[in-house]
Structure 1
Amino acid sequence: MPPLRRWRPVLLLVAFWLLGMYWMFGVDDETPLAYAPGSNAVPGQQPQTGHHDVAPVSDTHGHGGAANGGDLNARRWRKLPDLFPVTGALRELPVLKARQSDIPKIQAATPQESDAALEQRLQRQKAVRDAFLHSWAGYKKYAWLQDEVTPLGGKPKNPFGGWAATLVDALDTLWIMGLEDEFRAAVEAAETIDFSRSDSDLVNVFETTIRYLGGFLAAYELTGKKYEGLLRKAVEVGELLIYMTGLVQRHPTSVLVSELGSLSLEFTKLSQLTGDMKYYDAVQRISDEFEKGQDGTKLPGMWPVQVDPSGPLFRTDNAFTLGGMSDSLYEYFPKQYLILGGALEQPKKMYEKFIDVAKKHLMRRATNPEDIPIVIPGDARVRTIDGGIKVVNSPKGQHLTCFVGGMVGIASKIFNRPDELDLAVQLTDGCVWAYEATATGIMPEIFGFIPCGGVEDSQTGPECSYSDLKWRTAVRDQYLGQKSGKDPMGTEVEKTIKTQRLTPGMLQYHDKKYILRPEAIESVFIMYRLTGDSSWMDKAWTMFSNIERLTRTKIGAASLVDVSRKDTGLMDSMESFWLAETLKYFYLVFSDFDTVDLDTWVLNTEAHPLHRPDVE
């Protein structure tokens, strides 16, 4: 998945997603909660069912917590009274009926390879591992136990409260790459993180869930549940997140659907491991509301970007997308089905209803010089035009939507929709093309493409087949206006192409940055595992080589300012998902098929593997 991965920078106040919704839908609050963040509560203790609000208060004496370095501006969390006590039984995990054999197999058979192919694959894998170690060393040297390191200045940066985001996010990557000594040292350090204190006035529930809770849970399960401290930290984070549910009295009038609907995997897994149902109860109540509202939106079958917890949940906004601010809501439907071992049909039904709408109204074929069959998801708005309702498609590709290929591919397997595996390939190839189409060989954040039909149309038909005239005409219409009368083959259009640094098929750069995102390689990895086609490894290697060449610094890897320029500048930013997701997916592409087997593990939207309950 992933939602930031999902226009994360605009999600600063979404500490208040589940909070309002969860209390609105009701929980059992009969037992006062005795937990305080930082306690050593472990599974086997009596489950707590009460919920208390927390709020930051100034820690005027400072503190010496390892994660915060004694920052005098840090905050300490305290409980507030229950203002909205409600009653009702907690939802129980559905009884596991399916076994692994009942859910169709996801991965293809392990490909046969020659000695030369094996040697090449392992060399590529080592190159990715070396890139990880380089960035990890920079983090250790300059920002240990801080959230991030700046890859140009070598300074610590704490956008997530100073809770060592990079360290926690990278735990499972360390283990997967066989860096066991580094892993053990990181676990020891992670156990010192004090989640009762924060450098920030707000807790971003979504980011805390996918990075911290997901990170601890994955590391705990990947290591065979040998490190009990990891589960204790997961419980600490889980309790903090549940605390946030008491903020209903201060919830905003609107929140993003990706924030509201993207927590099911982590909360479900925490209930599975601890036996405490309050986590699963929280997310299942929200899922029930999404299901109830699925047919009542302005685009029935999908949910708008923003919802209003204080009123009609899904009926006000008219913007729909699979990209930022919505993405991981949809990503989690097939994954939630898997993490429940196929015991609940709800996520399957919700997926099957939405995907048909997305295929019709969002996904479009894109004209490209090689006439490769590619599909790119755009955005849609529902508008009233001439007294009627019309769905207007906006042909904008986002790096964030590149997860869609992998999602559709997995769903094609587990939900018996075999015809959509080819669609998954074309969606993923759309992102590979967007990488290849720039001067740097790296995809921008957001770009405009030339739509030429729906997913059922032919790529080589008269509408989609490429010509230089067709591309230049689209450029003229975009920048000079269709009514300008300018010759598409003339000097003014040529000047526009050079000024905008457009390449054939590319229409516009809406956002030229590359911030080390993982979504494209995520789907490439999944496509390789689903098909066994080694060409996906070659595509991955080309992507990695360009990224490594252009982003590497003395300290780590830096985001790129403008991928349309060969001399793209660098930004002093290296988000934790570079180590948690991007390099992990590149590494897995070049790993054996039994390393994080997709028939055993479900990866959350931060690429943290969670074990399927129907698999031994």
Structure 2
Amino acid sequence: FLFIFTCSPLSSIPSLQEQSRYHNLIPKFINAQTGRLRNDDMVTLGARADSYYEYLFKLWLQSGKKEGKFLKWYLETVQGVEEVLLRESEPNKLTFIGESKGASFIPKMDHLVCFYAGVLALGSEHVQQPSHMKIGKQLMYTCWQMYERMPTGLSPEIVYFNIDPNSKKDDIFVKMNDKHNLLRPETVESLFVLYRLTKDQKYRDWGWRIFQSFETYTKLENGYSSISNVQNPDNPGYRDKMESFFLGETLKYLFLLFCDDDWVLPLDEWVFNTEAHPLPIWVTR
């Protein structure tokens, strides 16, 4: 992690972040000619931006809590998320993190954003922010609902939320082009973190039901396949494609979720990067 920020052009991002008009959040693209953020772009915690928000906290943690600037930037981004992107759906008040483009709010959330439930929960344990744990648990429940409300029990790649209290729509709806499932790990990753921190059995129960849905709707003779339509259990549409992260992350986090306590790497000694590789937290002897 530290190599990323100290030995690459990305070390310029935090100073640019401070110039952002987006409450300490950043657009997802940088102008390759000038090195400056493209301030006309969309702000999201989803695709192409998620790892930045994950690494701010994890860099601080991996440094043995010595690199205070990363904690400062992390806390500022959490505040920005609460001010700009955090909303509740109607009618059941599901907590979700949307996107913004200029002055417009878009009630859209990628499955990728489900990593943030675990980051908030883990962060709360280290910086004494009970409100972060509360939001993390609420977001975790929403991510579970993205699975539970689908006929296959598997989440689509992207969902939209109803934010109109006068609408008769359900809280979650899925557009035609977003119904696919790529066997992604973010929800089970956060389930692992929440279970390890709270020991609440429901997180294991949710993880087991997700695993069973993978077994039922994605397992083939020689592997597991992405599917095209999580809303059609009779014909989910096998894509004949298994991303490497299913083995390297999704199944790894499911194993860690279910294994005994003395088998699990302790979260106060190890930190998982965004590809689920455990790295030791730096400790000065």
Q: Do they superpose with TM above 0.5?
A: yes
Shift of 1:551: 0.6
Does the 8 Å CA contact 1:320/1:380 hold for their aligned counterparts? yes
Q: Distance in 2 between matches of 1:525 and 1:392?
A: 34
Structure of higher CA gyration radius:
1
Q: Aligned residue for 2:269?
A: 600
Query: 1:608 corresponds to which letter in structure 2?
Result: H
Shift of 1:318: 2.8
Q: Distance in 2 between matches of 1:562 and 1:614?
A: 47
Counterpart selection for 2:251 from 578, 583, 594 = 583
Q: Aligned residue for 1:547?
A: 214
Counterpart selection for 1:424 from 136, 139, 147 = 136
Shift of 1:505: 2.9
The structure 1 segments of at least 4 consecutive aligned residues displaced by more than 2 Å after TM superposition are 315-318, 469-472, 504-510
Counterpart selection for 1:377 from 97, 101, 119 = 97
Structure 1 unaligned segments of length 5 or more: list them. Answer: 1-263, 269-279, 383-390, 453-462, 464-468, 473-503
Counterpart selection for 2:171 from 494, 505, 527 = 505
Name the SS for the 1:330 alignment partner: helix
Q: Aligned residue for 2:148?
A: 436
Does the 8 Å CA contact 2:96/2:142 hold for their aligned counterparts? yes
Shift of 1:514: 0.4
Q: Aligned residue for 2:83?
A: 360
Does the 8 Å CA contact 2:87/2:98 hold for their aligned counterparts? yes
Shift of 1:451: 2.5
Shift of 1:517: 0.4
Shift of 1:507: 2.6
Q: Distance in 2 between matches of 1:304 and 1:428?
A: 24
Query: 2:161 corresponds to which letter in structure 1?
Result: F
Q: Distance in 2 between matches of 1:559 and 1:403?
A: 20
Shift of 1:448: 1.2
Counterpart selection for 1:470 from 154, 167, 173 = 167
Q: Aligned residue for 2:199?
A: 532
Question: CA offsets, 1:128-153, max 9 Å, x none?
Answer: xxxxxxxxxxxxxxxxxxxxxxxxxx
Q: Aligned residue for 2:190?
A: 523
Question: CA offsets, 1:51-105, max 9 Å, x none?
Answer: xxxxxxxxxxxxxxxxxxxxxxxxxxxxxxxxxxxxxxxxxxxxxxxxxxxxxxx
Shift of 1:315: 4.5
Name the SS for the 2:104 alignment partner: strand
Q: Aligned residue for 1:298?
A: 21
Q: Distance in 2 between matches of 1:533 and 1:506?
A: 25
Q: Distance in 1 between matches of 2:256 and 2:284?
A: 21
Name the SS for the 2:223 alignment partner: coil
Q: Distance in 2 between matches of 1:597 and 1:529?
A: 9
Q: Distance in 1 between matches of 2:21 and 2:66?
A: 31
Q: Aligned residue for 1:411?
A: 123
Does the 8 Å CA contact 2:40/2:101 hold for their aligned counterparts? no
Alignment length (residue pairs): 282
Please, what TM-score do these two structures have when normalized by structure 1?
Answer: 0.44
Shift of 1:316: 3.5
Query: 2:201 corresponds to which letter in structure 1?
Result: S
Q: Distance in 1 between matches of 2:208 and 2:68?
A: 38
Q: Distance in 1 between matches of 2:210 and 2:37?
A: 38
Shift of 1:339: 1.1
Does the 8 Å CA contact 1:297/1:315 hold for their aligned counterparts? no
Does the 8 Å CA contact 2:156/2:174 hold for their aligned counterparts? no
Question: CA offsets, 1:557-597, max 9 Å, x none?
Answer: 00011101112110111111111100011111111234121
Q: Aligned residue for 1:286?
A: 10
Query: 2:173 corresponds to which letter in structure 1?
Result: L
Question: Counterparts in 2 of 1:9-408, with a 5 A limit?
Answer: 264-265=1-2, 267=3, 281-283=6-8, 286-287=10-11, 289-311=12-34, 313-367=36-90, 371=92, 374-382=94-102, 391-408=103-120
Pairwise CA RMSD of aligned residues? Answer: 1.9
Shift of 1:539: 0.8
Q: Aligned residue for 1:84?
A: none
Shift of 1:515: 0.8
Does the 8 Å CA contact 1:334/1:347 hold for their aligned counterparts? yes
Shift of 1:312: 5.4
Name the SS for the 2:150 alignment partner: coil
Q: Distance in 1 between matches of 2:17 and 2:232?
A: 43
Does the 8 Å CA contact 2:182/2:227 hold for their aligned counterparts? yes
Q: Distance in 2 between matches of 1:298 and 1:312?
A: 17
Query: 1:532 corresponds to which letter in structure 2?
Result: K
Does the 8 Å CA contact 2:60/2:68 hold for their aligned counterparts? yes
